[in-house]
Amino acid sequence: MLFLISLSATVLFTVLCGNILKRKPLPFYAGFTVLAVFFAFFPFEKCSDSILGYIVSLFSNGTLAAAFFVLVMYAGAFKSGSIGAKKLMPIRAELAITASLLTITHLISYGFTYIKRLLTGSISPTQAAVTYFAIPLVALLLPLAVTSFKNIRKKMNPKKWKNLQKFAYLFYILLYLHILIAYIPSARHGKVKSIANVIAYSAVFFVYAAMRISKELVKKHKESEQKIKISLSALGTAAFAMVSLMVVIPTVQTKNVPEIPTTESVSSSAIVSAVSSSLSKSSEESSKAVSSKNISSKAVSSKSSTSKASNTSSALQSSVRDESNSSNKEESNESLDEQQNNETEFQQETITEQIEDESEETVEESVFESESEQQPEPETEPESEIEISKIFNDGEYSAKCYEEDDDVRVMITVTIRIENDRIVDIKVDSDESDTWYLDNIVENLIPLIVEKEGNSLDDLDDIDAVSGATLSSNGVKRAVKDALDQARIM
């Protein structure tokens, strides 16, 4: 772990170079400043998985500076006359200045990026909280570091200088909270490195608090020294256990129930798609059956109307014939009525012709209607083809996933916006404390995903991961796939 490595390195540096640092501090100040600025602009992505990458992380993550601040803290917590006090107190000011100079890397690597995101509103809640605690930290660090130089200290009133240095305790509290807020979110999601950092920093700061408070109380109540030490040790242990459980318990719960929401969503979507497809097929079959029945019934009705019309015409013809025969028989007997009979016959023939014409028109209309009803409706076919060709619904969809590699566990949240089978916008959030990973993914991976459209969005695996950020790249691609599955038209 980087913090324990940094703490070991600072202790070794103090043992080997403490006396030289006291006599000639300026070369050390210059050397640490050059290293801090160099690693602040060092291309981290080229060596993130190598030993040099871990060295860069000691500077950029601020762990080396935090380790030097721990030595400054404990210099005042050790009992007067002890080995720790004798070794650290003479170089306490030099260690504080060294720690302040090493924070340059952290301020450049993270500070400027977080402030920019805070101003533009593109910062995550965790990063925003870290930034809010970092601002007063920097405001306290500047006067404390400047007044640690001997030349400036000599020019100040001793009482004022001492009162100013008391703000160091507030600085230590804010520093611990700053670290805690940075690591707890990812620790609660199961990231082993973050869990180890929370536990290690908590142990160091709680032990310091117990030692420092005990030292002050013993001065006033020397007769109760043993009780004070036991009480503070118990309180410190309880606080340490509480913080440790706060990050360990959610981790166990998260690992025991991984990605249940994704499974439920997939199963429910499969059931809905199956039901909808069966309903659509049954509705199509029923509509076809109904249409065929309507056509047949209309054809039957047309036939019946035709037969009725023909029967009516035949009946009228027979009646006309009977009347004409009777008129011929009566012609010989009633010669005076001949003209009237001729007029009646003419009228009956006219009526018969009109009935026959009307029956023929009725038959033609019924046949035309039956033929027109049997023709398919071509208007609905283009609409169905358009609906089938569309793959994704428009709108915004979000998905989360975890990516694990050895002791690293990163939670990634992706929100995509789809328009016309294209991803027009992708927002990515990660609990990774190092902003380099997320920035490089947004710059190099997201544009390649946005270029795809339609069926090609199913082939995200052919996009190469960002060098040095393979874990986060795979997580982003997997989260985008989950979001696309939500938007997919079944």
Report the relative pairing of strands 408-419 and 422-430 from DSSP bridges.
antiparallel
Question: Dihedral through CA 272, CA 275, CA 278, CA 279, nearest 10?
Answer: -100
Report how far residue 299's alpha carbon sits from residue 289's, in angstroms, rounded to the nearest whole number.
16
At 431 the pLDDT is: 64
**Which residues, given as ranges, of the chain have pLDDT below 70?**
1, 43-53, 122, 247-248, 250-388, 403-410, 431-437, 454-455, 468
Closest to 100 (Cα-Cα) out of 20, 170, 168: 168
Token reading at 230:
């036991």
Q: What is the pLDDT of residue 297?
A: 42
Token pair belonging to 51: 């030993």
Rounded distance between C-alpha atoms, residue 279 and residue 99, angstroms: 71
d(CA 126, CA 477): 23
Dist CA 423 CA 445 (whole Å)? 13
Tokens 């109540």 correspond to what residue?
Answer: 221
pLDDT of residue 120: 78
CA 161 to chain centre: 50
**3-class secondary structure, 408:** strand
Look up residue 229 and give its two tokens. Answer: 């030490």
Q: What token pair was written down for 304?
A: 């019946």
For the segment 71-115, what is each residue's pLDDT rounded down to a tens digit? 999 998 998 888 988 999 999 999 999 999 999 988 887 888 788
Q: What is the dihedral of CA 111, 184, 5, 101, to 10 degrees?
A: 20
**Single-letter code of the amino acid located at 366:** S
Q: Are 398 and 482 in contact (CB under 8 A)?
A: no
pTM, entire model: 0.59
Token pair of 154, please?
A: 């000599």
Alpha carbon 483 to chain centroid distance? 9
Assigned token pair, 300: 């039957």
Residue 136's CB: how many other CB atoms inside 10 A?
Answer: 13
Radius of gyration of the chain (CA): 46
Give the pLDDT of residue 376: 53
Which residue's structure tokens are 């509290």? 173
Q: Which residues of 275-297 are buried (b: 16+ CB within 10 A; e: fewer)?
A: eeeeeeeeeeeeeeeeeeeeeee
Give the DSSP H/E element, type plus range, for residue 402.
strand 395-405
The CA distance from 275 to 173, in Å, is: 59
pLDDT of residue 90: 92
Distance from C-alpha of 3 to C-alpha of 7, rounded to nearest angstrom: 6
CB 421 within 8 A of CB 390: yes
Q: What is the largest CA-CA distance in the chain?
A: 167
Residue 181 neighbours by CB under 8 Å, 6+ apart: 126, 129, 130, 133
Separation between Cα atoms, residue 354 and residue 246, nearest integer Å: 101
> What digits encode the pLDDT tens for the residues 420-476?
888 888 888 876 656 666 777 788 888 888 887 766 777 777 788 887 677 788 888
Q: Which residue has the tokens 């060098």?
A: 467
Write down the residue that tokens 């390649």 correspond to. Answer: 448
What DSSP line would sit under 279-306, residue for residue? HHHHHHHHHHHHHHHHHHHHHHHHHHHH
- Please report the sign of the dihedral spanned by the C-alpha atoms of residue 289, residue 291, residue 295, residue 300: positive
